Structure 1
């Protein structure tokens, strides 16, 4: 997570497994139903997928991801998919719930994701900067509704001396047209963090509802 020409202060900070030192461990509780149709807790864990970000400056914890919309819960197909597949930064016709722990002073590159994102500050203070130069200071409990805009995150917690955390919920979108032109996404150095992950998958002309079935048949 570095910006070209600017050294990331958090570079080399991550020395231990998830979570970053100084932040509490995230616990995930998944619910479902028993044979009587009663609601039950199916599992309590710390998630299935954790990934160090570039230059050991942060850690991404995937809380959950889905493919297809509406989501198929019958037979716990969604749970099997989420456990088996670590998503790219977003998922075609799906969603990603990702918690990112930022090292002290960590900064992302300026980037644009083709998704609608809800970014919720869980711990710490961040400066959110847009490519227009506009910026906002966001504190714990603040939420950014990120509509496929180019942006950068800078962890300014404790004057850049403390770790911080953001919860991201990413939803796929249709192609975005601005002033008559399609707006493309770009990840900058984030590309190396998500390289090789499934992310956006073509539906190969399948009709709505068939895509979920195809994905599960081919991956399990």
Structure 2
């Protein structure tokens, strides 16, 4: 990870409130209890300090195995790359004021939800949509980029990525393309 050059040096961005992650489980009587109250296990500065990612949770497998806390251990011990093959990733990203991501494509279904701010979602076709808090996108493997339209305040989005089968468009296999984001999503799982 390169040293941040932009305004974001930690999670959360300085002008956004801290977010909290609550994880539940069961006590000995089988009742629901909160077992985690924190801000996530994995934070990563991205795009030379123009953004920061916070992994809320990640899973592996088509069906998540919660027995013996296997899912908790996986989420804690593995910081995923862009997505988890055969699994899922929930990631908050804080974007610096006016920040525009490089164009990219993950080979996943990406649910994007604006939490705070105003964003422009642009596709490689030239089409774009403005998204406000509560707006959601479902990106099905398309090349895209995000821009925080507020030039004075950071914005926050939640992304949930689900792995997909190999995908063909017009008979051609579509490949993941991270471009300038490739280093930011290097696999650091251990």
- Please say whether Structure 1 and Structure 2 have the same fold, judged by a TM-score greater than 0.5: yes
Partner of 1:53: 46
Is 1:98 aligned to 2:96, yes or no? no
Partner of 2:184: 193
RMSD: 1.3
User: Any conservation in 1 of the 2:80–2:187 contact (CA below 8 Å)?
Assistant: no
Partner of 1:35: 28
Which portions of structure 1, spanning 4 or more consecutive aligned residues, are displaced by more than 6 angstroms?
Answer: none
Partner of 1:71: 64
Find the partner of 2:115 among 122, 130, 134. Answer: 122
Provide the TM-score with structure 1 as the length reference. Answer: 0.82
| Structure 1: distance between partners of 2:107 and 2:188 | 16
Is 1:88 aligned to 2:81, yes or no? yes
| Structure 1: distance between partners of 2:56 and 2:27 | 23
**Could you say what secondary structure the match of 1:111 adopts?**
coil
Find the partner of 1:14 among 4, 8, 12. Answer: 8
Partner of 1:173: 164
| Aligned-residue offset at 1:34 | 1.2
User: Any conservation in 1 of the 2:79–2:187 contact (CA below 8 Å)?
Assistant: no
The number of residue pairs the alignment matches comes to 187
Unaligned runs of 5+ in 2: none
Which has the larger share of strand?
A: 2
| Structure 1: distance between partners of 2:123 and 2:62 | 30
Partner of 1:163: 154
| Aligned-residue offset at 1:35 | 1.7
**Could you say what secondary structure the match of 2:76 adopts?**
helix
Q: Which has the larger radius of gyration?
A: 1
**Could you say what secondary structure the match of 1:83 adopts?**
helix
Unaligned runs of 5+ in 1: 1-9, 199-218
For residues 19-71 of structure 1, the C-alpha deviation after alignment (integer angstroms, 9 at most, x for no partner) is: 10111101000000112211111111111000000211111000000011100
**Could you say what secondary structure the match of 1:144 adopts?**
strand
